[in-house]
Chain A
Amino acid sequence: DSGVTQTPKHLITATGQRVTLRCSPRSGDLSVYWYQQSLDQGLQFLIQYYNGEERAKGNILERFSAQQFPDLHSELNLSSLELGDSALYFCASSARDSSYNEQFFGPGTRLTVL
């Protein structure tokens, strides 16, 4: 158990819908990262928040957005869903905004878009 929790574990929805994935970082960690894992693209960085502020953006679609709340939990919002959005979405957290701090990964949310 890494201490990072993600809900829900599984999500099945239809094309065109909107979903919200939730992540609670380890206690005390200020930085939250979102990654998407798919068979063809592998594990790709989407977005990072640090202490409530957006810190870095990766290959995140405009249909996707995220935020980090004052209690440091984060939500990833995916809208106008397409079949290709089906993937495993991981959240990771680290103590600070530094690569010297280990990133701890959550168990992931498996999203299936039908």
Chain B
Amino acid sequence: AQSVSQHNHHVILSEAASLELGCNYSYGGTVNLFWYVQYPGQHLQLLLKYFSGDPLVKGIKGFEAEFIKSKFSFNLRKPSVQWSDTAEYFCAVNADSGYSTLTFGKGTMLLVSP
């Protein structure tokens, strides 16, 4: 069974600091990868996704993620965070096995101090 691990449960940064959130998955075959964000009091929203092609994908709000197949990783990055990036971030994977269900990591709570 596929699984997703997110390295940090809580991250605290100051505005303008750079962000990198780790995500590793366990599945040996083809995968589709996602990052979702949940702002306080809001529903989960898709930040970015990777299916194939360029391993560096860009998403909304200046976020990007890099797929490194050899490391089974899909880390999320942002060069300069803002207070409005305070949210919980979830990495998710779908194994290209004919089913569309997602396996989520446990999430990383990011707090950005002004």
Contact = CB atoms under 8 A, between A and B. Distances in A.
Nearest to A99: B94
B32 A58 contact: no
A56 B101 contact: yes
Contact of B101 (A58, A102, A105): A58
Interface residues of B, number: 21
Given A2-B45, A105-B44, A108-B43, A99 B107 contact: no
A97 interface: yes
B103 interface: yes
B45 A45 contact: no
Contacts of B105: 42
A101 B101 CA distance: 11
Nearest to A94: B100
B20 interface: no
Rank and list the top 7 A-B pairs by shortest CB-CB distance, nearest first.
Answer: A42-B106, A99-B94, A105-B44, A43-B104, A99-B100, A105-B43, A99-B32
5 contacts: A42-B106, A43-B104, A98-B100, A99-B99, A105-B45
